[in-house]
Amino acid sequence: MVQIGYSLMCEQTPPKRLVEDAVAAERAGFDYETISDHYFPWLEDMDHSPYAWSVLGAVANATERIPFMTYVTCPIMRYHPAVVAQKAATMGALSDERFTLGLGAGEHLNEHVVGRGWPPVNIRHEMFGEAIEIIQALFGGEYVSYRGDHFTIDSAKLYDLPAEPVPVGIAASGAQSVDLAAEYGDALIAVQPDADLVSRFHATGGAGKPVYGQLAVSYDTDVQAATERAHRLWKWFSAGWKVLSELPGPVNFEAYAQFVRPEDVTKNVPCGSDIDAVVRAVKEFTDAGFTHVALVQIGADHQREFLAWAEKELLPALRDLN
């Protein structure tokens, strides 16, 4: 049975509300939660971007049973991998092992802020591979020294670890990143229901491991209002990862998104209160081999009505998916 998650989107919600939404989603019956890890929102209209790891600590304290994960953290520019390992280990211990570390090779949008430029994708993947090796070595609890082409570690050791190592999910959008996920990861993460990615992951070492996806929805009893909100806040998404990972700021996302029509958004975002539309969209992921699908409700001010609808109507319908 597919596991249905709830996405905490830092780019559209102030920090205290994120914690409140996390508690409400646990009560509504979601199976797990994800949180984005950004320095900027994609669009200025989204208006928020708090530090995800501070929010995670509050969520761990405020919730009781629900697992949660970063979706995703980049450990190659804005954060050094040794620091990511310490943050993740602390979250694992603080949450009684409910935390999964989702990792990705990053977006120009967030990583350029430290002034180190934005390397080409092949270099980013080299850096990403080294970062994963460092993080997993530190999860072993011993002193780690490392000298790679991109990162150096000098006698680092983590002193607070959960009883079991923090699981690592790795985001992928193509063959090279899928192979990294299969070799180093405990799970695959993707944002599109791409069966080819899942097949390659299974064939190269990921068979039997979880596969996480994410689906944006715009719930509202007024279909027109739901569509307008989805177009205003989610029109950037249709560019695809090869474009999204390279744009440097919200103004650039806005420049791209000015050409996106509402009908372009609604092709991939169920809008309104049609349960069958959401079920069909989630089924695209499950048919492609995904075991987990997190739902993003677009609009910070529309979370509570979405969660009430999900608890009473949507989640029971999605439980019937095999």
Show which residues are catalytic. 38, 107
- Name the residue among 11, 18, 13, 71 with its Cα closest to residue 40: 11
Burial pattern 156-178, b for ≥16 Cβ within 10 A else e, equals bebeebbeebbbbbbbbbeebbb
Question: Residues 135, 138, 144, CA angle at the centre, nearest 5°?
Answer: 115
Distance CA 24, CA 200 (A): 36
Distance CA 217, CA 206 (A): 29
Give, to the nearest 10 degrees, the angle between helix 15-28 and helix 52-62: 40
CB 157 within 8 A of CB 144: yes
How many C-beta neighbours within 10 Å does residue 73 have?
A: 22
Count Cα neighbours of 53 within 13 Å in the Cβ-side half-sphere: 16
Distance CA 45, CA 254 (A): 10
Scanning 155-240, the segments in alpha helix (DSSP H) are: 175-184, 195-201, 223-234
How far lies 5's CA from each of 48, 95, 207, 285, 288, in Å? 22, 17, 22, 13, 17
